[in-house]
């Protein structure tokens, strides 16, 4: 007997749950209260509560407008000079290593997808070890390339500390060829970065066990400094033959919507890397063919000009200083928030239940992620005292 198969069309699609952080933006926009505080979204804001275009970026964009003579295709690698200029900033002393190659990608997100595509091409049985909580877009990207995922607890929210023993035990349970997904700096969502000693230990386990580290570095320069924030990346390159790095310029050049990033691949030999990059270009060609030009071309102009580059570093330091001074100010306000002063980058997690987070939203018009993640530079200077008082009240409850 023939079994009747139901034709599956677009009308048969199941609805997708909305991304909670995107949903939060809509909630903030719909709230008419003039004193609302949005510490949900992950963009840098200055003391006036704005996310301005960097002055140096405006100038580079003007130069680009004045001098660009063609918009002809660039190819899957995007702007090659952009990657060349970024190379020493990210890789430091490893910049001359011919076993490392990089290409421009649509943001850090594109770099992550491409990096995981490469792993899935090489070894579809590889498992990705992911410390939780992590950036909520990591698991969907890993699922999209159909790699298995092993989660382990990374962070103790009550005390604001890394569960380092859990991390090491989990990585010790991984097998050669498995992948360790690591945050290069300014951990999102916790702000809890590995210390230098902890990095040494992680690098030792990753290298001893033959794991492939995939380091996501989206906030270089937002933590301690440009070189300091690349400590883990460079230490891993010292020790391992196979390393993948997904990098983003979207935050440190403040060009979020322009989608500027890069992917870096190291194998044990220059010829091995050439072969791996052949697969990378092929995957890129299938997904986006080539990355958008404008943002990377502007970053290229800045990094290729000594004066603009120096001014970028000053503006970047300005953003870093504001992040760190906001952290110190919040930490000093209440001993229960002291851990925030020992962390890096834009994010921290408050030890609040989802109900307490929702109550802050309703009663105080303070919007943060359901997990208690908040952006330390999400609020303007005139909102800090009200924010701290409301959070202290929620912690008392
Ligand atoms: C940890 C982490 N990785 C990658 C990204 C992706 O950055 P991009 O906007 O460049 O795709 C983000 C952005 O929020 C992030 O927080």
**Pocket residues for ligand 1 (CB within 6 Å)?**
42, 107-109, 135, 183, 188, 216, 218, 248, 250, 256, 261
Is it the case that residue 1 has pLDDT exceeding 80? no
Annotated active-site positions, please? 135, 216, 218, 251
| pLDDT per residue as tens digits for the range 26-76 | 999 999 999 999 999 899 999 999 999 999 999 999 999 999 999 999 999
Tokens matching residue 192: 């809890």
The residues facing 215 across adjacent strands are 182, 245
| Contact residues for 70 (Cβ-Cβ < 8 A; gap 6+) | none
Which atom of ligand 1 lies at the shortest distance from residue 42's CA?
A: 14
| pLDDT per residue as tens digits for the range 137-163 | 999 999 999 999 999 999 999 889 999
Confidence of residue 371 (pLDDT cuts 50, 70, 90): very high
Stretch 208-219: mean pLDDT: 98
Which atom of ligand 1 lies at the shortest distance from residue 134's CA?
A: 1
DSSP 79: -
Is it the case that residue 17 has pLDDT exceeding 60? yes
Q: What pLDDT, on the 0 to 100 scale, is given for residue 8? A: 87
Which atom of ligand 1 lies at the shortest distance from residue 261's CA?
A: 10
Residue of the CA atom closest to atom 13 of ligand 1:
218
Please tell me the least confidently modeled range out of 13-17, 20-24, 84-88. Answer: 20-24
Q: What pLDDT, on the 0 to 100 scale, is given for residue 392? A: 95
* Residue to mutate, 25, 51, 109, ligand 1, most ligand atoms under 8 Å from C-beta: 109
Round the CA-based radius of gyration of the chain to a whole number and report it: 22
What is the spatial distance between Cα 372 and Cα 361, in angstroms, rounded to a whole number? 12
Report the percentage of the chain scoring pLDDT > 70: 98
DSSP 1: -
Is it the case that residue 311 has pLDDT exceeding 90? yes
Greater model confidence, 172 or 1: 172
Confidence of residue 21 (pLDDT cuts 50, 70, 90): confident
Confidence of residue 260 (pLDDT cuts 50, 70, 90): very high
Q: What pLDDT, on the 0 to 100 scale, is given for residue 19? A: 82
What is the spatial distance between Cα 244 and Cα 177, in angstroms, rounded to a whole number? 13
What is the spatial distance between Cα 140 and Cα 20, in angstroms, rounded to a whole number? 13
What is the spatial distance between Cα 305 and Cα 122, in angstroms, rounded to a whole number? 39
| pLDDT per residue as tens digits for the range 90-106 | 999 999 999 999 999 99
Q: What pLDDT, on the 0 to 100 scale, is given for residue 22? A: 84
Cβ atoms 395, 334 nearer than 8 A: yes
Helix, strand, or coil (residue 362): helix
Which atom of ligand 1 lies at the shortest distance from residue 259's CA?
A: 10
Tokens matching residue 122: 């090489």
Tokens matching residue 386: 């009200």
Greater model confidence, 3 or 384: 384
**312-318 long-range CB contacts below 8 Å, 24 or more apart?**
312/54, 312/56, 312/253, 313/226, 315/54, 315/55, 315/56, 316/221, 316/226, 316/252, 317/221
Confidence of residue 5 (pLDDT cuts 50, 70, 90): low
Cβ atoms 61, 298 nearer than 8 A: yes
Burial of residue 341 (number of CB atoms within 10 Å: 0-12, 13-18, 19+)? middle
Report the percentage of the chain scoring pLDDT > 90: 95
From the CA of 254, how far away is ligand 1's center (Å)? 12
What is the spatial distance between Cα 10 and Cα 301, in angstroms, rounded to a whole number? 45
Q: What pLDDT, on the 0 to 100 scale, is given for residue 3? A: 60
Cβ atoms 366, 352 nearer than 8 A: no
9-36: buried (b, 16+ CB within 10 Å) or exposed (e) per residue? eeeeeeeeeeeebeebeeebeeeeeeeb
The residues facing 155 across adjacent strands are 162
Q: H helices of the chain, where?
A: 20-30, 55-67, 80-91, 107-122, 138-144, 164-172, 196-209, 231-239, 270-287, 294-303, 306-333, 354-364, 384-396
Stretch 274-279: mean pLDDT: 98
Cβ atoms 288, 242 nearer than 8 A: no
* Residue to mutate, 141, 214, 248, ligand 1, most ligand atoms under 8 Å from C-beta: 248
With vertex at residue 146, the alpha carbon angle to CA 220 and CA 75, rounded to the nearest 5 degrees, is 55
Q: Is cis: bond before 249, omega within 30 of 0?
A: no
- Whose CA is closest to 37, among 376, 395, 336? 376
From the CA of 208, how far away is ligand 1's center (Å)? 29
Confidence of residue 199 (pLDDT cuts 50, 70, 90): very high
Cβ atoms 260, 295 nearer than 8 A: yes
Confidence of residue 4 (pLDDT cuts 50, 70, 90): low
From the CA of 396, how far away is ligand 1's center (Å)? 33
Please tell me the least confidently modeled range out of 77-81, 158-162, 308-312. Answer: 158-162
Q: For residue 392, how many other CB atoms are within 10 A of its CB? A: 14
Is it the case that residue 323 has pLDDT exceeding 70? yes
With vertex at residue 231, the alpha carbon angle to CA 230 and CA 236, rounded to the nearest 5 degrees, is 100
With vertex at residue 29, the alpha carbon angle to CA 28 and CA 33, rounded to the nearest 5 degrees, is 70
Is it the case that residue 7 has pLDDT exceeding 80? no
Is it the case that residue 182 has pLDDT exceeding 60? yes
Stretch 232-244: mean pLDDT: 98
């Amino acid at each position: 007997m023939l079994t009747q198969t139901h034709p599956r069309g677009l009308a048969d699609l199941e609805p997708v749950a909305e991304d909670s952080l995107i949903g939060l933006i809509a909630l903030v926009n719909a709230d008419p209260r003039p004193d609302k505080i949005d510490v949900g979204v992950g963009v840098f804001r200055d003391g006036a509560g704005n996310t301005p275009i960097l002055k140096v970026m405006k100038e580079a964009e003007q130069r680009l407008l004045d001098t660009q003579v063609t918009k002809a295709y660039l190819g899957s690698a995007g702007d090659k000079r952009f990657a060349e200029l970024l190379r020493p900033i990210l890789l430091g002393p490893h910049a001359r290593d011919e076993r490392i190659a990089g290409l421009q990608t649509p943001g850090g997100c594109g770099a992550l997808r491409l990096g995981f595509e490469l792993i899935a091409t090489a070894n579809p049985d590889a498992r990705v070890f992911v410390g939780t909580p992590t950036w909520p877009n990591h698991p969907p990207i890993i699922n999209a390339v159909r790699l298995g995922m092993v989660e382990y607890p990374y962070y103790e929210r009550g005390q604001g500390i890394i569960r380092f023993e859990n991390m090491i035990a989990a990585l010790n349970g991984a097998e050669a060829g498995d992948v360790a997904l690591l945050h290069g700096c300014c951990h999102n969502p916790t702000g809890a970065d590995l210390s230098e000693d902890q990095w040494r230990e992680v690098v030792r386990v990753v290298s001893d066990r033959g794991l492939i580290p995939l380091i996501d570095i989206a906030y270089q320069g937002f933590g301690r400094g440009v070189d300091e924030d690349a400590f883990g990346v460079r230490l891993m390159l010292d020790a391992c033959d196979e390393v993948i790095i997904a990098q983003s310029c979207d935050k440190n050049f403040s060009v979020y919507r322009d989608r500027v990033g890069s992917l870096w691949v190291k194998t044990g030999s220059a010829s091995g890397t050439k072969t791996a990059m052949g697969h990378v270009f092929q995957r890129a060609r299938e997904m986006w063919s080539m990355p958008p030009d404008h943002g990377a071309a502007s970053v290229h102009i800045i990094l290729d000009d000594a004066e603009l580059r120096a001014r970028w570093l000053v503006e970047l330091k300005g953003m870093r200083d504001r992040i760190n001074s906001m952290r110190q100010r919040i930490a000093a306000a209440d001993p229960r928030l002291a851990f925030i002063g020992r962390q890096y980058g834009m994010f921290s997690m408050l030890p609040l239940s989802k109900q307490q987070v929702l109550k802050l939203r309703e009663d105080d018009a303070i919007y943060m992620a359901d997990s208690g993640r908040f952006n330390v530079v999400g609020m303007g200077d005139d909102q800090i005292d009200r924010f701290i008082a409301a959070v202290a009240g929620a912690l008392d409850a």
